[in-house]
Amino acid sequence: MDLLQNYITPADGERTVRTYCCTYYKSSGFETNGYLGITNKRVIFQALSTTGKEKSIIQSEVPISDVSGISSYKGFYSNPSYILRAILITIIAIGLSMSLFGAMRYSMDDFTALGWIFGIGAIVGTYFLSFTSIWRAPVAGVAVAAFFNLGRGTFYSSGNGFATFLAIAASVYTLFCIEKYSRRPTFSLAINSKGGSSTPIVISAAKGLNAALGKGLNAEPAQDADVLLNEIGAVIMDIQMMGDYGIAKWSK
């Protein structure tokens, strides 16, 4: 998408050199792509979200001649809100399973065979769920409850030390599933200008308490994020130092 042709009025003689769909915002009330446009005169960032009759926009820009530095990051971070959500559902799943298996231990002549079926079946079942699914950790929690009850034994059999070991191992695996579920892609970009500590263009993800409370905007990498990170420094430097030759080079 060419920002100058769609949403931004070009200056006299201004034309687009490169446009990148570099980030994706996904938060309450604001869900849209963010575009970074490099023209022969400016570097422009814009993210426009339209929900019904409401329009929200993020826009910032800097003259390309004033750009003095670029810092960026593309990777993952653990989102506290996802951690809390997964822990809550997993605790509920383990609690309900413990109550169910406990009742079965006291009401059945031999809970052992059924306990192994539930425990092994739950572990195997997690491999059919993606790490991005919130249900992987709760299903692993069912295995924790099953192995724990097997380790305690029943009225008719002694406890099983191996099952207790499996309960501990399943607990560690459950925590691993929670951590993997909480890992979310993130993208940040800061373009500094020559005006001292000024950073006119900043793309960043909400982290820590803001992310846990659902505040702030979470910037995730979009389809052109890798290309942008590889090219942006060279594009801006060539335009600054080579002028029309640099513009022609990157406009192809």
- pLDDT 10s digits, 220-246: 899 999 999 999 999 999 999 999 999
Interatomic CA distance for residues 115 and 208, integer angstroms = 40
Residue 179 has pLDDT above 90, yes or no: yes
Task: Please tell me which residue, 49 or 181, carries the higher pLDDT value.
Answer: 181
Domains of the chain: 3-75+204-251 (2.30.29), 80-182 (no CATH)
Question: Following DSSP, what letter does each residue of the chain receive, concatenated?
Answer: --HHHHTSPPPTT--EEEEEEEEEEEETTEEEEEEEEEESSEEEEEEEEEETTEEEEEEEEEEGGGEEEEEEEEEEEE-HHHHHHHHHHHHHHHHHHHHHHHHHHHHSS--HHHHHHHHHHHHHHHTTS-TTSTTHHHHHHHHHHHHHHHHH-BTTB---HHHHHHHHHHHHHHHHHHHHHHEEEEEEEEEEESSTT---EEE----HHHHHTT-S--EEE-TTHHHHHHHHHHHHHHHHHHTHHHHHHHH-
- Average per-residue pLDDT for the chain: 87
Interatomic CA distance for residues 24 and 207, integer angstroms = 16
Reference 120, options 103, 140, 90, 106; nearest CA is: 140
Q: What is the mean pLDDT of the segment spanning 191-219?
A: 69
* CB-based contact 45:59 (threshold 8 Å): yes
Residue 178 has pLDDT above 80, yes or no: yes
Instruction: Provide the 10 A C-beta neighbour count for residue 133.
Output: 15
pTM: 0.75
Q: What is the mean pLDDT of the segment spanning 178-182?
A: 94
Give 232's contacts (C-beta < 8 A, 6+ positions apart). Answer: 20, 36, 38, 70, 72
Q: What is the mean pLDDT of the segment spanning 25-45?
A: 87
